[in-house]
């Protein structure tokens, strides 16, 4: 059995590598197949690291994010062999909110019902269902699930890389930002929600970009709708932050007044959001943020989270949110601080933050004049990043959660800096360097 548990994941890994080398989806990209295979190998290795780190630091699997949804899926998957109708009802969410299903299945799960309910979609259930589906062929092997989640995230990442290359015209910049950011790789390489979120975000961005440049295909519209659904279920605030920047991006392509386009669209969305909140208080974004913060603070206190930091409760007013924005952005950009490093897991994000801040200063010094296409996408990346950072910073009083929640937007922040960087000011000898030439040919 131990031999099977080793050989089976290896065969699945080899199968994915062969798919990357042969399927047309991976050939219709600016990157070589070997560079894409390397990128997936890095992801797969990171998935193994995730497994062993969580095995070491989280002996209680019910509290380990990469294990808890995987373990819960066992109870749903076993129904496929004994009560297949029950299985498909739970998988599709059809008529399963009954005492029968609670007693026989859901009460055995630790995460089917969230510890708090803010009235929005329960993304736990999507991950449990997906794991239950994978269990039909995984024979309960965690590493098979890790490879499947990795491959899903890799597909989303590649679609995002295509868009970044179309804007920057640089394979090196796009490859680094998408495939080599340590935090993004780590938090989307295990059985995590971020893997599915990255897939949904990458798919949405790619097909939106296709439509924005005139590729008005029915297929793109259909996939755009499906990926929107994934984002809404997984992280509604990601979709809510990205929708207005997409609209503003599309408008500014024709209007050519980039900053006015974004200001107008966000102003309109703010008015609509405030109006919706006045009519339907349950869906007020102010109350949703305040409630989310309260639940998170209470959760941190209840579990005595070691990486929690003090945070004042927000009042349910727009001014209360506005006053808290500077501190929220500062926390998301800079945490973990050196004084907060109480675990080996905090050292990599600390180093990455220092590298990011240093690189941002470097890009500001060696910035270039952006053309209208670059400027439009630069603004899209920055505004999307800041809006998500604000939401995360306002609601999250735990350093470990801050590090993880900002993962989906980190490629956009790094890409904004890459667009700003003027590589023409680099030493002329660099472009003729053999290592640099080989790297470009490899990518």
| Distance, CA of 83 to CA of 91 (rounded, Å) | 13
Nearest-10 crossing angle of helices 258-279, 236-255:
140
| Distance, CA of 195 to CA of 156 (rounded, Å) | 9
For 267, the enclosing helix (H) or strand (E) is helix 258-279
Which residues, listed in sequence order, are joined to residue 367 by a DSSP beta bridge? 421
Strands (E), 79-157: none
Under 8 Å between Cβ of 91 and 125:
no
Question: What residues contact 105, with CB distance under 8 A and at least 6 apart?
Answer: 75, 76, 79, 86, 90
User: Can you tell me the mean pLDDT for 243-261?
Assistant: 86
Question: What residues contact 57, with CB distance under 8 A and at least 6 apart?
Answer: 343, 345
Assigned token pair, 2 = 């131990």
| Distance, CA of 142 to CA of 192 (rounded, Å) | 12
The 10s digit of each residue's pLDDT in 212-229 is: 887 667 778 888 999 999
Under 8 Å between Cβ of 37 and 181:
no
251-267 CB burial, b ≥16 within 10 A, e <16? bbeeeeebeebbebbbe
Comparing CA positions, the residue from 259, 224, 254, 215 lying closest to residue 242 is: 224
Under 8 Å between Cβ of 92 and 133:
no
Comparing CA positions, the residue from 144, 243, 141, 147 lying closest to residue 188 is: 147
Comparing CA positions, the residue from 234, 27, 6 lying closest to residue 121 is: 234
Among 144-158, 221-235, 245-259, which stretch is predicted with the lowest mean pLDDT? 245-259
To the question of pTM greater than 0.95 for the whole model, the response is no
Under 8 Å between Cβ of 105 and 90:
yes
**Alpha carbon 313 to chain centroid, angstroms:** 27
Q: Cα angle vertex 131, ends 150, 161, to 5°?
A: 25
How high is the pLDDT of residue 372? 86
With 90 as the cut, is the pLDDT of residue 27 above it? no
The 10s digit of each residue's pLDDT in 336-381 is: 888 877 777 788 889 999 999 999 999 988 888 888 888 999 999 9
DSSP state of 337: P
The 10s digit of each residue's pLDDT in 29-67 is: 899 999 999 999 999 999 999 999 888 877 778 778 889
| Distance, CA of 7 to CA of 394 (rounded, Å) | 46
The 10s digit of each residue's pLDDT in 298-307 is: 888 887 788 8
Comparing CA positions, the residue from 162, 60, 35 lying closest to residue 439 is: 35
Question: What residues contact 126, with CB distance under 8 A and at least 6 apart?
Answer: 196, 233, 234
Among 5-9, 37-41, 100-104, 319-323, which stretch is predicted with the lowest mean pLDDT? 5-9
């Amino acid at each position: 059995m131990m031999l099977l548990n080793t050989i089976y994941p290896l065969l699945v890994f080899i199968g994915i590598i062969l798919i990357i080398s042969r399927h047309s989806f991976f050939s219709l990209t600016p990157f070589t197949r070997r560079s894409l295979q390397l990128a997936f190998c890095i992801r797969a290795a990171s998935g193994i690291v995730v497994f062993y780190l969580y095995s070491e630091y989280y002996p209680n699997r019910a509290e380990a994010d990469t294990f808890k949804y995987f373990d819960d899926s066992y109870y749903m998957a076993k129904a496929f062999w004994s009560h297949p109708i029950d299985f498909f009802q739970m998988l599709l969410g059809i008529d399963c909110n009954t005492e029968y299903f609670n007693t026989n299945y859901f009460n055995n799960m630790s995460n089917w019902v969230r510890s708090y309910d803010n009235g929005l979609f329960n993304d736990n259930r999507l991950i449990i269902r997906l794991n239950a589906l994978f269990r039909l062929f995984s024979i309960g092997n965690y590493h098979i699930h890790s490879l499947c989640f990795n491959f899903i995230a890799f597909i989303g990442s590649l679609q995002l890389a295509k868009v970044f290359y179309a804007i920057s015209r640089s394979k090196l910049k796009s490859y680094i930002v998408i495939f080599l950011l340590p935090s993004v790789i780590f938090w989307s390489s295990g059985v995590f929600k971020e893997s599915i979120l990255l897939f949904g975000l990458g798919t949405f961005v790619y097909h939106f970009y296709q439509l924005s440049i005139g590729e008005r295909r029915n297929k793109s519209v259909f996939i755009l709708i499906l990926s929107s659904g994934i984002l809404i279920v997984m992280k509604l605030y990601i979709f809510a932050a990205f929708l207005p920047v997409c609209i503003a991006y599309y408008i500014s392509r024709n209007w050519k007044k980039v900053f006015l386009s974004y200001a107008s669209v966000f102003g309109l969305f703010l008015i609509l959001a405030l109006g919706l909140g006045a009519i339907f208080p349950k869906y007020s974004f102010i109350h949703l943020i305040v409630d989310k913060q309260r639940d998170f603070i209470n959760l941190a206190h209840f579990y005595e989270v070691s990486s929690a930091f003090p945070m004042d409760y927000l009042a349910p007013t727009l001014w209360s949110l506005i006053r808290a924005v500077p501190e929220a952005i500062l926390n998301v950009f800079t945490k973990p601080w050196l004084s907060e490093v109480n675990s080996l897991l905090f050292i990599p994000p600390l180093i990455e933050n220092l590298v990011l801040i240093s690189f941002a200063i470097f890009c500001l010094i060696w910035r270039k004049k952006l053309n209208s296409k670059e400027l439009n996408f630069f603004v899209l990346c920055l505004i999307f990043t800041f809006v998500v950072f604000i939401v995360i910073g306002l609601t999250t009083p735990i350093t470990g959660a801050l590090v993880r929640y900002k993962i989906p937007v980190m490629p956009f922040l790094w890409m904004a800096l890459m667009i700003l960087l003027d590589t023409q000011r680099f030493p002329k000898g660099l472009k003729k360097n053999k290592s640099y030439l080989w790297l470009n040919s490899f990518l």
